[in-house]
Amino acid sequence: MMGELPTAALQANPRELAARLQSRLPVEGTEECLEELRKVVSCRYSFLRMPILRPAENTLDLGFGSFESKNLTKNLTGCEEAFLFAVTLGVGVDRLLTRLSALSPARHFITDALASALAEAACEEAEQRIKGELCCAPRFSPGYGDVSLELQAPLLNLLQGQKLGITLNQNLLMVPTKSITAIMGIKQ
């Protein structure tokens, strides 16, 4: 299933933003950069609810191939199903960041930090919409712990990431860059 998130619904967590800006104090220009960023955000997501198969110890199959992971197996303890999802802020954000990198390193830094914080906010908003009243394990993404980044390709393929405009570069990083994939176990 696919959905869109209104830009107005995305509110960056102040702590997340402070960490990304590397400052607890207000940073001059943040409001202007946020206003410009909001104009180009096109937030979309897709998700699937899949059974969790456990063909061997510390081996999982979530519908996009069998793989080993002690960390994700532990995270999914008590779960028989999981939500798989992808979220993106859209290619407009990458275009804005590319333009700002040539025009103003300071505005680029601030806007990049804001976009990262908004991507996290988008992931949290999508997570809430997807799980509803269900109790779920914390989300887990390829590249975390012992979950290989190589799982990004089959996961995005299953989620039809191309319909969201998400592709992978040669280093298995997502384009648009402000995109997130995740696995979230459904607690019984």
Per residue in 45-57, pLDDT tens?
Answer: 999 999 999 999 9
Average of per-residue pLDDT across 93-103? 98
d(C-alpha 40, C-alpha 59), whole Å: 40
Q: Is the pLDDT of residue 24 over 90?
A: no
Domain of residue 26: give its range.
Answer: 2-187
Which pLDDT score, from 0 to 100, does residue 113 have?
A: 96
Q: What DSSP state is assigned to residue 27?
A: P
Considering its fold, how many domains does the chain have in total?
Answer: 1
Cis peptide before 176 (omega within 30 of 0): yes
Which pLDDT score, from 0 to 100, does residue 94 have?
A: 98
Nearest to 81 by CA among 63, 68, 56, 55: 63
CATH number at 88 reads: 3.40.109.40
H helix runs in the chain, sequence order? 14-21, 30-38, 70-75, 91-103, 105-131, 152-158, 161-164
Which pLDDT score, from 0 to 100, does residue 60 have?
A: 98
Q: Give the C-alpha distances (Å, rounded to integers) separating 4 from 42, 47, 86, 175.
A: 8, 12, 12, 18
Cα 7 from chain centroid (whole Å):
15
Which pLDDT score, from 0 to 100, does residue 188 have?
A: 81
Which pLDDT score, from 0 to 100, does residue 50 have?
A: 98
Nearest to 83 by CA among 35, 155, 146, 31: 155
Name the 3-class secondary structure at 77. Answer: coil
Q: What is the pLDDT of residues 120-162, one digit of tens each?
A: 999 999 999 999 999 999 999 999 999 999 999 999 999 999 9
Average of per-residue pLDDT across 75-89? 97
